[in-house]
Structure 1
Amino acid sequence: SYQILCEKYPSFRERSKNVDLVVEISLQPWKVF
């Protein structure tokens, strides 16, 4: 979830570097279908 991501990457800059990861996480609910 996004909260776990925030814990792993506290700084916004680090999260920005991992945009692909963010996209993958945000798309996870859709992969169920």
Structure 2
Amino acid sequence: MSKLKLNITMSIDGFVAGPDQSPEHPLGVGGEELH
């Protein structure tokens, strides 16, 4: 059986970010699709 490892962080106001956050991508790569 496959194993899946997930790591997600949510702020107190309910926002999550995608991977690879940077000044150019404050919500992470693809983060705008999460909202």
- Give the TM-score band, short-chain normalised: under 0.3
More contact order relative to length (CA 8 Å, sep ≥ 6): 1
What is the TM-score of this pair, normalised by structure 1? 0.25
Structure having the higher Rg: 2
What is the TM-score of this pair, normalised by structure 2? 0.25
